[in-house]
Structure 1
């Protein structure tokens, strides 16, 4: 415990110790619900994925440093969001015709599990209908089982992405996204409509958790800490349980929330100080509570690794933190470009986990960047620094003046990446003269 044990009661200490795992366990669920509350708020002005519950709402342009609904976004894609509640009848997902443009409609449950993706790999070019049902519901009659997706929770987040080739291509990408439609969603769940945000972080956390777990439930493949909630006398549905609790219990919950959030924050940074870290298990968490919580804090909505690999660089080749006070290079040798069948790109984010403003308006660079210059030996060297390079803008990824990190995304990664046979080159610091 962070507080001196002589200054706290045994009841406070026991409550804090027991409730701390609930913070790690419940954080991804609450972060999903918070996002749902923001994006499906009936009073919100529709924009950039915000709009009525049960309908897709998309962005008109790639995201920039001004867009802050989701941490660690991509600027290679147009996002289109929808939130649905699966009642007793299936929800229909319509995919329009598509002729080669990369897209994916990611399905996440309320606990941030990427349980299914709809895209080029499983949908014909002429488009099709998909039917979404809850895992406990019977198979509907008259529907092709091959086009039925069973969903672990009744609240489902559909996070669509469509590749966009710049501002001039945005209207065509948006036209495709507008053709992706939903029909048959139930109403917004109460745990979203009654979202509590009083400014008391710990009390809001546990109040929202109690309400959410009662209504959302826990998927069969995930860790279930509801018995621990009951042992703390936080029964499902008892939103007033915190107010009935003694001050000692509430103090224990405050300590648990502070320490639990600190633990998650500690793990969003690469603790090994390796140049690159990535996981083949991203998006599919099972009972890995800490990893689920860590990614919910730094990259909520991450796709499963078979769809996209997210490699993160917090440190350079000498295990020093990336900092805009220095310049860096990232060099891919001839024949050693990132192995992706769709495309790849390197995005840069500031310490706040969003894009950093820069004079070039460039937030990522990759195989689709216009004007990239290869060396005479056909290698590719990216320049990552705050000041404009003397060589020009072609291979420049602008950095802020302070700390930052990189995410290398590989869409439809090849087997050598998934199996660990491809080694990403480290980011090299340019030595000051």
Structure 2
């Protein structure tokens, strides 16, 4: 019998490649287990057993407020939108998704397959803001379309993660208005019945530790039955359990190391870059699945990140900084942009006296210079009246993310000149 001490180099290399290739499948299944609902509003709990892995799929779950410093489940969260998410199981047939008229508001439903490819979108950029009905089906379905279908999305496998974002303004009553929009998101079968169904997720999604070889192999094998490798991608499977035991810790820990991002100039970098498919770059696909799972394509949103100032020094709340957009040189977007600040030690928001965690052109009271420049001050202490202040953690390292929703060609083609953060003291 093969043991961890007798695995030769070719076998180890083959196992390593297969783990890199299949890790997105495992992480998606873990995320589904962590984020699907135990309880349906009318159908009750998926199981009466407290430790059961049964959950509801084909059901929307919502956050009804923007995230803040007390929210610690997601790293580098946005402070612009609320979320309306769902996991789809298409093995029993298509689902119909009804969405209301969103007015002029930014919104998107991004669909990721089980391999983390962001393969389709419904929303402001792609299908508009009118009330609409979308049919999503798996690879084995064909049939007549029901009346009123606006668009049809063919998923490559039976499992799909739908990540919805709806913009919330800071104006009075807007949170309530968005809550009403979320309540109108519905998912049904072709006969009009509720699409929700019980589903055994088979694992504890709360654990982010390196899994056992047995759990990994079982989870991936089941996922492969429902979600074959992307077209043109071959996979050596199954794997030897002893080889997986030996190689898995190295793979999982190695993927925690950050990839070399695309440098954009001015201390800014782009941590990930995908449109609708990762293609042959399975290593980046695995890194993103381990560290940034749920990333949408850059046509929908880009997230340039800065951790250093104009001199390459780590950003710290011990100092004050200025970010200056010259007249007419602000971010070029089709929807909106914001600048969000996070503590570097835990990648989370930091409580501050004005309860502000992002700033952008939608921020109430935003002030421009006499020449039209937009200047943002980043520091721990209040810079006083007349400044656009984004509070930083006192004495602690931080980083900022420039969130670009529907970025225009200057950003997508990497022609935009990002201004550096200048230290003032």
Give the TM-score category using the shorter length.
Answer: 0.7 to 0.9
Contact 2:377 2:383 in 1 (8 A): no
Find the counterpart in structure 2 of residue 91 from structure 1: 95
Deviations 1:155-214 (A, max 9, x none): 111111111002631000111121111113474554x23448789734166245434433
**Counterpart selection for 2:135 from 131, 136, 143:** 131
TM-score (norm 2): 0.83
Contact 1:91 1:131 in 2 (8 A): yes
Find the counterpart in structure 2 of residue 180 from structure 1: 185
Q: Which runs of 5+ in 1 are unaligned?
A: 1-7, 234-241, 243-248
Shift in Å, 1:338: 0.2
Contact 1:98 1:127 in 2 (8 A): yes
Is 1:106 the equivalent of 2:74? Answer: no
The alignment partner of 2:212 has SS state of helix
The alignment partner of 2:316 has SS state of coil
Counting strand residues as a fraction of each chain, which structure ranks higher?
2
Matches within 5 A, 1:176-215: 176-184=181-189, 185=195, 187-190=197-200, 192-195=201-204, 201-203=210-212, 206-207=216-217, 209-215=219-225
Structure 2 CA distance for partners of 1:74 and 1:223, relative to 1, 3 Å: farther
Find the counterpart in structure 2 of residue 245 from structure 1: none
**Counterpart selection for 1:320 from 313, 318, 324:** 313
Find the counterpart in structure 1 of residue 165 from structure 2: 161
Contact 2:96 2:188 in 1 (8 A): yes
Structure 2 CA distance for partners of 1:360 and 1:222, relative to 1, 3 Å: farther
Find the counterpart in structure 2 of residue 336 from structure 1: 329
Deviations 1:317-356 (A, max 9, x none): 2233333333322211111000012100011223333333
Is 1:121 the equivalent of 2:130? Answer: no
Shift in Å, 1:298: 3.6
For 1:70 and 1:176, locate their aligned partners in 2 and report how far apart those are by CA, in whole Å: 24
Structure 2 CA distance for partners of 1:71 and 1:284, relative to 1, 3 Å: farther
Shift in Å, 1:305: 1.2
Find the counterpart in structure 1 of residue 228 from structure 2: 218
The alignment partner of 1:70 has SS state of coil
Deviations 1:138-165 (A, max 9, x none): 2434568861100122111111111100
For 2:208 and 2:105, locate their aligned partners in 1 and report how far apart those are by CA, in whole Å: 44
Structure 2 CA distance for partners of 1:381 and 1:297, relative to 1, 3 Å: farther
Shift in Å, 1:87: 2.3
Contact 2:119 2:277 in 1 (8 A): yes
Shift in Å, 1:283: 5.7
For 1:308 and 1:55, locate their aligned partners in 2 and report how far apart those are by CA, in whole Å: 25
> Larger deviation: 269-278 or 374-383?
269-278
Contact 2:264 2:414 in 1 (8 A): no
Shift in Å, 1:418: 1.5
Structure 2 CA distance for partners of 1:373 and 1:212, relative to 1, 3 Å: farther
For 2:410 and 2:206, locate their aligned partners in 1 and report how far apart those are by CA, in whole Å: 46
For 2:28 and 2:338, locate their aligned partners in 1 and report how far apart those are by CA, in whole Å: 26
TM-score (norm 1): 0.81
**Counterpart selection for 1:261 from 252, 262, 287:** 252
Is 1:36 the equivalent of 2:46? Answer: no
Structure 2 CA distance for partners of 1:199 and 1:364, relative to 1, 3 Å: closer
For 1:410 and 1:63, locate their aligned partners in 2 and report how far apart those are by CA, in whole Å: 18
Contact 2:56 2:197 in 1 (8 A): no
Counting helix residues as a fraction of each chain, which structure ranks higher?
1
Q: Which runs of 5+ in 2 are unaligned?
A: 45-54, 190-194
Is 1:27 the equivalent of 2:23? Answer: yes
Q: How many correspondences in the alignment? A: 399
**Counterpart selection for 2:362 from 360, 364, 368:** 368
Find the counterpart in structure 2 of residue 237 from structure 1: none
Structure 2 CA distance for partners of 1:61 and 1:415, relative to 1, 3 Å: same
